[in-house]
């Protein structure tokens, strides 16, 4: 299986102990039915996107081999967030969070619905996604975006620190 065939998940947290939460989330990804964790990046400290005054984030990406559909995988990721303690009701957009699991891309699939957009909107502009993704899948060709390593070279990665 090549990196082009994997589903890529972005992980992020900036409340509690973010590093511990990402380690817990990576372990939990291994338990998802019909999924196998194939790759995981290092953890990165990143400046927050969104409202000012929130703590830095810790981000990573993971590559999953899966038999789940993109929609079923997203549902599983949302369930995993809930099991890890995330509560979405009343949450501020781009505000601080205990855990965030985003389905970034799923092979070469493209989707656009109320529930799921693939590739993830904003993936091409977000250094907190592209830096860890370039570590583990620099040659990944994201539909409509291009190669990860090329896209990473087009944005500022200032303030990102590998942990």
pLDDT per position as a tens digit, 21-38: 999 999 999 999 999 999
Distance CA 99, CA 92 (A): 14
pTM, two decimal places? 0.94
Instruction: Please say if 102 is a catalytic residue.
Output: yes
pLDDT at 99: 93
Instruction: Please say if 34 is a catalytic residue.
Output: no
Instruction: Please say if 100 is a catalytic residue.
Output: yes
String of DSSP letters for 65-108: EESS-HHHHHHHHHHHHHHTT---TTPPTT---S-EEEEEEETT
List the single range of 28-42, 43-57, 119-133 with lowest mean pLDDT: 43-57
Q: Is the pLDDT of residue 63 over 80?
A: yes
Given the residues 45, 86, 126, 151, the one annotated as active site: 86
Read off the tokens for 145: 């975006």
Instruction: Please say if 93 is a catalytic residue.
Output: no
pLDDT at 118: 97
Given the residues 34, 83, 88, 102, the one annotated as active site: 102
- Pair 26, 43: CB distance under 8 Å: no
3-162 CATH: 3.30.70.560
Read off the tokens for 12: 């992020």
**Domain ranges for the chain:** 3-162
pLDDT at 93: 67
Given the residues 5, 17, 97, 162, the one annotated as active site: 97
Q: Is the pLDDT of residue 13 over 70?
A: yes
């Amino acid at each position: 299986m090549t990196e082009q065939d994997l589903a890529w998940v972005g992980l992020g947290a900036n409340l509690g102990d973010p590093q511990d939460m990402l380690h817990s989330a990576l372990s939990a990804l291994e338990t998802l039915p019909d999924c196998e964790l194939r790759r995981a990046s290092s953890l990165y400290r990143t400046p927050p996107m969104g409202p000012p005054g929130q703590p830095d984030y810790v981000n990573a990406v993971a590559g999953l081999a899966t038999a789940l559909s993109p929609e079923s995988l997203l549902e599983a990721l949302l369930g995993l967030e809930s099991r890890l303690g995330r509560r979405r009701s009343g949450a501020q957009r781009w505000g601080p969070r205990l855990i965030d699991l985003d389905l970034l891309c799923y092979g070469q699939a493209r989707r656009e619905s109320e529930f799921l957009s693939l590739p993830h909107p904003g993936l091409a502009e977000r250094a907190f996604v592209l830096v860890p993704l370039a570590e583990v899948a620099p040659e990944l060709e994201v539909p409509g975006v291009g190669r990860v390593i090329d896209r990473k070279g087009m944005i500022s990665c200032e303030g990102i620190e590998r942990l």
